């Protein structure tokens, strides 16, 4: 930190119809610092950063970068001033390669793309330098969310930045990847760059940032030096009350077997084997966790259980009924609920209103429809009710879901799934992108389901989340279950070794 001002956003106002999303925000960023931006879901963080990089125009207010006023609403200006942003929802074109995405918008539109070799070489060089493992000729649509995130980060570095904005970069990363990213940010600051970092994970913020600004209700309410605060205080500033992060998990004996998976083998979307002889059971009143570095078969497991990926061999029974061979539609009619990994790809339909997203799987059943007609007033009523119970912030039930902030989209998906009638709940990343207040709420609801006799499988890359919720944790590595652990924080190291494919015995 040099103490010199790099950026001042002054009196920014922005509204969408009746919804005020920036109410006179003032934010100042110093040269060469990591500045964390905190705030509840829908506080207006993403909107503020979109205004900064020109994607949205503010209704009022000005942006001063290095003593110069930026033209509002112009992405080109921001790019020219080397302000780069890694967006919460990726800005990668799925049918293009990594390298093609990097050259998109570069140079004159009428230029011929000649030097792809040089581009490739530079990507490889940068990727090696920062240890990001990005392959320039990979097609975006073939990459996992975590990989896409790294591609996004490298894209901004490739273009050269002075001010780097990261909007919830760690939401989709594993703890190891997060460590690497935080290191990377430190290195960038040493190289003279400045970083704005948005996250809901307070421990990361404490670890990496120099200063923190907290947003609430469309305003920056406070900016403090990180060294002069702590996680509890930050949480209180954000939510306005104390947040309990450690929820009591009542001791309950697990009941009957609800889901039984035996010797499951399955090929991934690339055609290579992804699951090898996976066997486990989930009982009523039990939450079973699956830990692992992303890309080790967890996504395929979730897809196989919901009928979205053909099963090569093995058996999956739900309450005694065989699932193998059934279509995803049939499985959807069974007592199963699913919170998917990537809400945009599988959880919601972005251009549709909240109401239609709520009834997505059940639109043809009462109470949403009767005699072939949708009961709009009932649908609206239930949507409102769900929004209230899960604290979904939106201008109304008729709002398109793409207008919601990321965390609010996730809360709607969680709420919708928990409202279904189910015996088995499959969760792949529960708290992705939701703020700490809402995390507490959602975890609470999951534990309620456990007490109510539901069987729950929780796939997560967040060990904290697994420790808090699970009765036992299975570790997955390269498509195999390699061990089972009690949710005991003391055995963190052993779990870490298993996740890395090492046996804790040999390490001891």
Partner 1 sequence: MEDLASLSFLAATIAASWRLAAPLIFASIGEVFSERAGVLNIGLEGTMLAGAFAGFAAAFTSGSILFGVAAAIAAGVLVGLLFAFFTITIKADQIVVGAAINLLGLGLTAFLFRSYFPSAGKGIDIAKPVHLPWLSDLPFFGEALFRQNAFVYSTLPVAALAVFVLYRTSFGLTLRAVGEHPKAVDVAGRSVALYRYGAVLICSALAALGGAFLTLAHSNQFVEGISSGRGFIALAVVVFARWSPIGAFVVSLLFGVFYALQLQLQAQPVHFLPYQLFQALPYLMTIAALIFVRNRVGTPSMLGVAYKKS
Nearer residue to Mg ion within complex by CB, 52 or 291:
52
Min CB(84)–Mg ion separation in Å: 17
Looking at the Cβ atoms of 58 and 340, the one nearer to partner 1 is 58
Q: Is the peptide bond before 164 cis (omega within 30 degrees of 0)?
A: no
Please give the residues from 273 up to 292 whose contact with partner 1 meets the rule CB under 8 A.
none
| Nearer Cβ to ligand ATP (91/121) | 91
**Do 37 and 198 form a contact (C-beta atoms < 8 A)?**
yes
Instruction: By CB under 5 A, tell whether 170 contacts Mg ion.
Output: no
* Residue 439 interaction partner, one of Mg ion, partner 1, ligand ATP, none, beta carbon < 5-8 Å per kind: none
| Shortest distance in whole angstroms from residue 325 CB to ligand ATP | 39
Q: Which does 408 bind (CB under 5 to 8 A by kind): Mg ion, ligand ATP, partner 1, none?
A: ligand ATP
209/198 Cα distance (integer angstroms): 10
- By CB under 8 A, name the one of 55, 138, 206, 231 that touches partner 1: 55
H-assigned helices in 419-486: 436-451, 463-469
Rounded least distance, CB 406 to ligand ATP, Å: 4
Q: How far is the CB of 345 from partner 1 (least distance, A)?
A: 12
Which CB sits closer to partner 1, 81 or 416?
81
Cα angle for residues 86, 92, 93 (degrees, 5° grid): 165
Q: What b/e sequence results for 202-220 when a residue is b if at least 16 CB atoms lie within 10 Å of its CB, and e otherwise?
A: bebbbebbbbbbbbbebbb
In the complex, minimum distance from the CB of residue 69 to Mg ion, in angstroms, rounded to a whole number = 26
Check residue 199 for interaction with Mg ion (CB under 5 A): no
Task: Kindly state whether residue 46 participates in binding Mg ion, applying the rule CB under 5 A.
Answer: yes
> What is the C-alpha to C-alpha distance for residues 428 and 301, in angstroms, rounded to an integer?
10
Q: Say how far apart CA 183 and CA 165 lie, in whole Å.
A: 16
Partners of residue 481 on adjacent β-strands: 476
Nearest residue (CB) to ligand ATP, 153 versus 457? 153
Q: Which residues in the 81-110 window bind partner 1 by CB under 8 A? A: 85, 87, 91-96, 100-101, 103-110
**HEC states along 300-332?**
HHHHHHCCCCCEEEEEEEECCEECCCCCHHHHH
- Residue 333's Cβ-side half-sphere holds a number of Cα atoms within 13 Å equal to 7
Which residues, 71 to 110, sit near Mg ion by CB under 5 A?
88
**Minimum CB separation from ligand ATP for residue 51, in Å?**
10
As a whole number of angstroms, the distance between CA 348 and CA 120 comes to 35
Tell me, by CB under 8 A, how many residues bind partner 1. Answer: 31
Q: How far apart are CA 371 and CA 365, in angstroms?
A: 9
List residues binding ligand ATP (CB under 6 A): 16, 19, 21, 39, 41-47, 88, 393-394, 403-408, 433, 435
List residues binding partner 1 (CB under 8 A): 16, 53-56, 74-76, 78-79, 85, 87, 91-96, 100-101, 103-113
């Amino acid at each position: 930190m040099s103490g010199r001002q790099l950026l001042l956003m002054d009196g920014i106002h922005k509204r969408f119809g009746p919804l005020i999303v920036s109410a006179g925000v003032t934010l100042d960023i110093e040269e060469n610092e990591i500045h964390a931006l905190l705030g509840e879901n829908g506080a207006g963080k993403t909107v503020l950063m979109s205004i900064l990089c020109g994607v949205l125009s503010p209704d009022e207010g000005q942006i001063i970068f290095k003593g110069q006023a930026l033209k509002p609403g112009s992405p080109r200006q921001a790019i020219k001033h080397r302000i780069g942003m890694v967006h919460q929802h990726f800005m990668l074109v799925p049918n293009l390669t990594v390298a093609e995405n990097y050259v998109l918008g570069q140079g004159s539109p009428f230029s011929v793309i000649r030097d792809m070799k040089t581009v490739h070489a530079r990507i490889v060089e940068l990727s090696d330098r920062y240890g990001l493992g990005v392959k320039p000729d990979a097609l975006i649509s073939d990459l996992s969310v975590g990989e896409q995130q790294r591609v996004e980060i490298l894209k901004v570095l490739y273009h050269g930045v002075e001010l780097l904005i990261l909007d919830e970069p760690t939401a989709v990363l594993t703890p190891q990847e997060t460590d690497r990213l935080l290191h990377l940010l430190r290195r960038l600051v040493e190289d003279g760059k400045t970083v704005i970092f948005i996250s809901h994970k307070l421990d990361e913020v404490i670890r990496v940032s120099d200063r923190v600004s907290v947003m609430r209700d469309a305003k920056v309410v406070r900016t403090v030096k990180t060294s002069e605060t702590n996680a509890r205080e930050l949480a209180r500033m954000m939510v306005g009350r104390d947040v309990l992060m450690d929820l009591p998990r009542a001791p309950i004996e697990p009941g009957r077997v609800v889901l039984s998976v035996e010797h499951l083998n399955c090929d991934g979307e690339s055609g290579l084997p992804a699951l090898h002889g996976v066997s486990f059971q989930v009982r009523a009143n039990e939450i079973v966790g699956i830990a692992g570095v992303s890309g080790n078969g967890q996504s395929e497991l979730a897809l196989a259980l919901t009928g979205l990926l053909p099963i090569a061999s093995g058996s999956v029974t739900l309450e005694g009924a065989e699932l193998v061979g059934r279509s995803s539609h049939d499985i959807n009619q069974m007592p199963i609920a699913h919170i998917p990994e990537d809400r945009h790809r599988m959880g919601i339909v972005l251009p549709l209103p909240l109401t239609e997203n709520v009834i997505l799987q059940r639109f043809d059943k009462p109470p949403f429809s009767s005699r072939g007609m949708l009961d709009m007033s009932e649908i609206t009523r239930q949507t409102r009710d769900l929004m209230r119970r899960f604290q979904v912030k939106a201008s109304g039930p008729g709002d398109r879901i793409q207008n919601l902030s990321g965390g609010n989209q996730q809360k709607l998906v969680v709420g919708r799934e928990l409202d279904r009638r189910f015996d088995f709940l499959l969760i792949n990343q529960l708290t992705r992108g939701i703020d700490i207040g809402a995390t507490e709420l959602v975890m609470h609801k999951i534990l309620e389901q456990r007490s109510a006799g539901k069987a729950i499988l929780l796939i997560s890359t967040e060990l904290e989340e697994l420790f808090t919720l699970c009765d036992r944790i299975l570790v997955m590595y390269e498509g195999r279950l390699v061990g089972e652990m009690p949710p005991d924080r003391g055995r963190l190291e052993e779990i870490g070794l298993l996740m890395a494919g090492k046996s804790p015995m040999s390490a001891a």
